Amino acid sequence: MRAAKRKSGHAKERGLLFMNSMQIISVVVFLVVMIALVTEKVHRTAAAVSGAVLLLCLRILSVDEAVSYIDFGTIGVLIGMMLFVAVVRNSGLFEYMAIKSAKIAKGSPWKIMLLFMILTAVLSAFLDNVTTVLLVGPMAISIAGILGIDPVPFLLTQILASNIGGTATLIGDPPNIMIGSKAGLSFADFVVTTGPAVILIMIVICALFYVVYGRRMVVAPERMAAVMELDEKRAVQDGMLMKKSLVMIALIVLGFVCHSSLGVESCVVALAAASIMLLIGRQDIEEIVLGVEWSTILFFTGLFVIVGGMVKCGVISALGNALVSVTGGNVTLLMILILWGSAVFSSVLDNIPFVATMIPLILSMQADGMDVTSLWWALSLGACLGGNGTLIGASANVVLSGISAKHGHPITFGHYLKVGFPTMVLSVAISTVYLLVRFH
């Protein structure tokens, strides 16, 4: 009898040891992938997919378990919106909007900068940030060239506006898509909750940049007249496609606003819009499909599996318990810690891995009976706004700085840091006050 008990005790010890070793392996795989992302020695997609496959090979996860951790809601929204934008881009709609904005501003450099900031923020609320800066950035450089002024301030403000604007909606930034999918938050929830914070931040930022840049922007009247001579109609590549795009954009917004009340997932709205656009757009389907950033989709998939490995092994729940213990279970302290922690982290690293790790952690707190509503919004605001902190804080920053360098106007890390980091701190400070007023 005693021998049997000893055997049972040894078995439990071996089981505990095995679980501990599984936890160690899952954490090591996660950290190695993070190091690969930071150093950029390996492409982020290769790193994420390799990490996921390694967990399968080491039997930390089975294939079925790995698939169960993939958030197909997020993947569906990303693919749907990427396909939709790939079709709409061919109409010339975005170039038309940029030139029209410059002419509405009467060629005034400060007014053009202001309208481009607003245009970038609004487009980023509904499109991928990288797509937005790819469309608006080159136009800003061209118009700055006509005006004979340095385009760097235009581009810096567009980078900042893209990350701020993307915070306002469910589909504006990948972290929001991920949070909305797992937390059950609708498009309307984001507009009502993060939308006011974004509007407030944009007002403050626009006023700040008027002081920093606007008052010094003076150009000759003939250069302003040259901007007014631009013909926005020449930017339109396909008038019929443009009309179809405008109708579909309106329907998409309506679909996202009403999807929760209709009982339809946001990914279904995005994929339905993409399907309709593929049918009525009359574009080269193979070209459109190649326009999707499949490397990003694979990156998300691999990352979900890697974080899923830590969830299965109990690492995430242990982290959640430790975080609650440190803050004494005070939701307000947790909210502030998550807001600023995610902002600082996202300013130096990709915000997607951080959010993917935090989501199951907050879900574990929710499972323990905590009201985590404010924590979701703290995570959203911190992760999205934190991207403005440094030149490598978000993909849009890297892409637009690369475009600027190709046109002979390099944006150095230090130059960006002087503008971006204070803007990020100010944005997060405003968000802190907003969240405290709203939820406490």
245-258 confidence digits (pLDDT tens): 999 988 988 888 78
Is 60 exceeded by the pLDDT of residue 77? yes
In the predicted model, what is the mean pLDDT of residues 302-331?
83
The per-residue pLDDT for range 192-234, each reduced to its tens digit, is 999 999 999 999 999 999 998 887 888 888 888 888 888 888 8
Sign of the CA dihedral running 127, 401, 382, 23? positive
Q: What is the pLDDT of residue 406?
A: 81
The per-residue pLDDT for range 55-71, each reduced to its tens digit, is 999 999 999 999 998 88
Sign of the CA dihedral running 98, 103, 107, 111? negative
Q: Please give, one letter per residue, the 3-state secondary structure of the chain.
A: CHHHHHHHHHHHHHHHHHHHHHHHHHHHHHHHHHHHHHHCCCCHHHHHHHHHHHHHHCCCCCHHHHHHCCCHHHHHHHHHHHHHHHHHHHHCHHHHHHHHHHHHCCCCHHHHHHHHHHHHHHHHHHCCHHHHHHHHHHHHHHHHHHHCCCCHHHHHHHHHHHHHHCCCCCCCCHHHHHHHHHHCCCHHHHHHHHHHHHHHHHHHHHHHHHHHCHHHCCCCHHHHHHHHCCCHHHHCCCHHHHHHHHHHHHHHHHHHHHHHHHCCCHHHHHHHHHHHHHHHCCCCHHHHHHCCCHHHHHHHHHHHHHHHHHHHCCHHHHHHHHHHHHHCCCHHHHHHHHHHHHHHHHHHCCHHHHHHHHHHHHHHHHHCCCCCHHHHHHHHHHHHHHCCCCCCCCHHHHHHHHHHHHCCCCCCHHHHHHHHHHHHHHHHHHHHHHHHHHHC
In which region does residue 149 sit, left (phi positive, over 0), alpha (psi from -120 to 50) or beta (all else)? beta
280 confidence band (pLDDT: 50, 70, 90): very high
Q: What is the overall mean pLDDT for the chain? A: 86
Closest CA to 113 of 95, 104, 204, 131: 104
Sign of the CA dihedral running 76, 78, 81, 83? negative
The per-residue pLDDT for range 322-364, each reduced to its tens digit, is 777 888 878 999 999 999 988 988 887 667 777 888 898 899 8
Closest CA to 151 of 426, 403, 437: 403
Which residues 6+ apart lie within 8 Å of 79 measured at CB?
Answer: 270, 271, 274, 292, 297
Is 80 exceeded by the pLDDT of residue 15? no
Q: What is the pLDDT of residue 350?
A: 67
Q: What is the pLDDT of residue 19?
A: 53
Q: What is the pLDDT of residue 7?
A: 41
Is 50 exceeded by the pLDDT of residue 17? no
Structure tokens at 108: 């005034």
Is 80 exceeded by the pLDDT of residue 1? no
Closest CA to 51 of 64, 67, 32, 37: 32
Provide the residue type at 421 as one letter. Answer: F
Question: What is the number of other CB atoms lying within 10 angstroms of the CB of residue 94?
Answer: 21
Give yes or no for a contact between 382 and 428, defined as CB atoms under 8 angstroms apart.
yes
